[in-house]
Amino acid sequence: MPITPYHFGPSGLIGYVFRKWIDFPVFVLANVAVDLEVLIVGHLNLGWPIHRYAHTLLFGALVGVVWGLIAFLIQPVLKLGMNILRINYKTDLKKMLISGVLGVWLHILIDGLYHYDVKPLWPYKVNFLWKLMLREHIKTACLICLAIFAFLYFLPAFKQAFKKR
């Protein structure tokens, strides 16, 4: 699922609920960072499989660390975005690095359930996750997570609106 909204449901929900310990924007945007591999493989017509090294837990961790470092460098932009979204935002380098790795790993686990060419435990060549769930169930679960995240995000605004009445 290259850079689809499906990944934003689980990552948004987990990142929002655990934002005290997880850097929310780094965690969520790690789902985009890891799929740059799919876009590059597809754009350059490198053939099959489209999910290669970044979609393994080993190299995915490296992608997450690199993304965490990049995020640390663009921290003012992330803070601005969080201010616009009205989400309290306090972070540090360690939190950003861990969030980058965990965000990429979540993406890999979701893709591992959905795509059989993902090899999470590379060099072990078997995808142990594929076929644990039906593809439509994965999409549905991701959309449910997105709905729960949206509800939790807008809940304070709803409370505020009803309190003023």
What integer pLDDT is reported at residue 140 of this predicted model?
Answer: 86
Q: What is the pLDDT of residues 109-137, one digit of tens each?
A: 888 887 767 787 777 677 766 666 667 78
What integer pLDDT is reported at residue 130 of this predicted model?
Answer: 64
What integer pLDDT is reported at residue 47 of this predicted model?
Answer: 65
CA distance 84 to 29: 16
pLDDT exceeds 60 at position 3: no
Residue 71's pLDDT band, with cuts at 50, 70 and 90, is: very high
Residue 96's pLDDT band, with cuts at 50, 70 and 90, is: very high
What integer pLDDT is reported at residue 68 of this predicted model?
Answer: 95
CB 26 within 8 A of CB 100: yes
Cβ contacts of residue 21 below 8 Å, gap of 6+? 95
Q: What is the pLDDT of residues 11-62, one digit of tens each?
A: 999 999 998 999 999 999 898 888 877 767 766 666 676 666 777 888 899 9
What mean pLDDT is reported for the chain? 82
What integer pLDDT is reported at residue 1 of this predicted model?
Answer: 47
Considering only CA atoms, which of 3, 8, 33 is closest in space to residue 143? 8
**Does the pTM exceed 0.85?**
no
More confident residue, 1 or 98: 98
